Amino acid sequence: MHTWWTGIVGCGLFALLFFDSQLYADVTLQGFFIATSAIGWWHWRGGVAALAPPVRRSPVPLLAGSTLAALAVTVAYGSLLHHWTDAYAPYVDSAVLAFSVMAQLLLMRRRIETWPAWLLVNTLSVPLYASRGLTLTAVLYAAYWLNAWHGWWLWRRAMTQAG
């Protein structure tokens, strides 16, 4: 529960760090995270329902469409950054943005597919941040990678117990 508001603070700080590191898609992503964290916090605190929504699977067409949209955003935003800014690794940075958006939306609705999406994001993020000399951030995202495995395990268990 407390990860929502602490995440908002952390995202603001990360936006400053990523701007300084020329990872502009990640700056955009932090703004998205701030907004969705506020919404997620509201949902999980009972603003929409008394309990957090159950863990469920996403319909295949929705998941396929989301994945294709994330790929399209990666190419489009990466091209924009490549041609109009001094962005570092614009396509990898844009993939982190696009698939993080997808993962966050799945997380907010408690869809099990959030965890493989976060694994992809963190797999891309660790070397990206390390290549910019953001060693502590790369280590943090390596911990997030481990957390995604743990979250996936917990949510699968919750789905099994719920029947």
The pLDDT of residue 99 is 98
Rounded Cα distance, 113 and 107, in Å? 8
Question: How much of the chain exceeds pLDDT 90, in percent?
Answer: 79
Looking at per-residue confidence, does 83 or 50 come out higher? 83
The pLDDT of residue 40 is 76
Dihedral (Cα; 150, 54, 123, 59), 10-degree rounding: 140
User: Taking Cα atoms as reference points, which of 54, 42, 53 lies closest to residue 8?
Assistant: 42
pTM of the full structure: 0.88
